[in-house]
C-alpha cells in the first residue's frame, strides 16, 4: 500500500527565512505527487503537482518542489517566506495508472513570525 511521510509536524520560521518541508513516499510504481495548502479555516488548495518531465516543479505563490526518484522524496521549498504563508501543508501521492486513490501525509503546520 502506498504511504506518505511528513516528518516535520510543526515548523516555525521568521519572515524572509527560507523554507523546506520534507515529504517521502512509499509506492511500488510510477507516481503523481502533489502539495496542497490549507489556510486557517479554509479548504485545501493545490500548490503544485508533478506527473512527469522536469523534476523541479514550480507552483503558485513562489513555491517549488523537487522530485528525487532515488530518494522517494518530493520536498517543498520557498526561498523567502511571508507571514501569509502561515498554513498547513499536505503532501499527497497516487499511482499514475488511473489509480483513483490519493494518499495524504499527516501535514506540516507552518507558522511564520512577523
Partner 1 sequence: DAGITQSPRHKVTETGTPVTLRCHQTENHRYMYWYRQDPGHGLRLIHYSYGVKDTDKGEVSDGYSVSRSKTEDFLLTLESATSSQTSVYFCAIRGGVGETQYFGPGTRLLVL
**For binding to partner 1 (CB under 8 A), which residues are involved?**
32, 34, 36, 42-46, 49, 51, 90, 94, 96, 98, 100-102, 104-107
| 50: number of Cβ within 10 Å | 20
Cβ at position 5, least distance to partner 1 in Å: 11
Residue closer to partner 1, measured from CB, 7 or 16: 7
- Residue 88: is it exposed, middle or buried by C-beta count within 10 angstroms (0-12/13-18/19+)? middle
Cβ at position 49, least distance to partner 1 in Å: 6
Strands 108-113, 10-14: pairing is parallel
Q: Are 110 and 19 in contact (CB under 8 A)?
A: yes
Q: Any idea what the Cα angle at residue 43 is, between residues 41 and 85, rounded to 5°?
A: 70
Cβ at position 61, least distance to partner 1 in Å: 16
Cβ at position 22, least distance to partner 1 in Å: 15
Q: Are 95 and 41 in contact (CB under 8 A)?
A: no
Residue closer to partner 1, measured from CB, 106 or 111: 106
Amino acid at each position: 500500500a502506498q504511504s506518505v511521510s511528513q516528518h516535520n509536524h510543526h515548523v516555525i520560521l521568521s519572515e524572509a527565512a527560507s523554507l523546506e518541508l520534507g515529504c517521502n513516499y512509499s509506492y511500488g510504481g510510477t507516481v503523481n505527487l502533489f502539495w496542497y495548502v490549507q489556510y486557517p479555516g479554509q479548504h485545501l488548495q493545490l500548490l503544485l503537482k508533478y506527473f512527469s518531465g522536469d523534476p523541479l516543479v514550480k507552483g503558485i505563490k513562489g513555491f517549488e518542489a523537487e522530485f528525487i526518484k532515488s530518494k522517494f522524496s518530493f520536498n517543498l521549498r520557498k526561498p523567502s517566506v511571508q507571514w501569509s504563508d502561515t498554513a498547513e501543508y499536505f503532501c499527497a501521492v497516487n499511482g499514475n495508472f488511473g489509480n483513483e486513490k490519493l494518499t495524504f501525509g499527516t501535514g506540516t503546520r507552518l507558522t511564520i513570525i512577523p
